[in-house]
Chain A
Amino acid sequence: MFHPGHHELHGVTVVVETAGPLTYVGRFDTEDEAGVHLLDVGVHDAATGGTREDFVRRSARFGVRSDRKHLVVPLAEVARITPLGAMES
């Protein structure tokens, strides 16, 4: 466990994919009834240009460009959560 006493993903930079056009990359903080809490979050909207894959690849290569300090993704919108480090190479 990365941070003992916390959610197993606490402090880990993750990619949160949704069923819609939005993808988030940020540090997982916690999960509660409101949703998944992320910190220092980069947001990608496939509807406004660029692919999700390019966004994730760029984040892995150059780091996460933070658009939001704190963001909550409702659980109903979450399709998949993957550590960014596991999506490289």
Chain B
Amino acid sequence: MSAEGTAKPDAAVVRDALGVGVAVGLSGFAFGVTSAGSGLGLLQTCALSLLVFTGASQFALVGALAAGGSPFTAAAGAFFLGVRNAFYGLRLSQLLAVPRALRPFAAQWVIDETTAVTLAQPTRRAARIGFTVTGLSLYLLWNLTTLLGALGAKAIGDTDAWGLDAAGPAVFLALLAPMLKTRTERAVAGLAVLLGLGLLPVLPAGVPVLVAALAAPVALFVEGRRIGRTRRSAPDGTEEGR
């Protein structure tokens, strides 16, 4: 948090960062396979990992395209998933104090994993090392395994027979699980599932996910009203339910 907390050995920071970078970097293989299985070419698959480099958005994009969504709804879903990175950047720019000239380059590494490692560091030096090592190891491995996965998918043939179409939703679930901390988050997730599945048969591909995103503002609105109501009237304890 502060610029000078308790010092942490550089080697320990590097070890933590590599642990995350290598583990998550390897899952680029699942993306490469999924993307190729969704009908994207080798160049398209690799371009996504090199240039988008934020896993959830990449999986969402190829999934939406495979389902027959228009390029615009598919890109919109991927974009909205990427918006959280802006808020990570906000925290990181304070912690890392990135020089202005380096910001366009550092920006590409502002993702879930680098943020998690960087926020866990006690000093600015450790934060900078953590961010750089996680970013570099993850970027290199993610792109290498994407390439291998895309090549492997061609060799495998029918990726569904190998259960690889379950990799995408499993990645989403693994990212989602730690976010479900309070009742509001669980309510948002539940409402989004209902909207996403319920509207699937009636709306064009890709659109139901965008409508499901409305669960977030709806939950905030309901939450705000509930807080307002409990403030105004004395709570009688019976309205605990939902």
Whether chains A and B associate is no
Chain A positions near chain B (C-beta within 8 angstroms): none
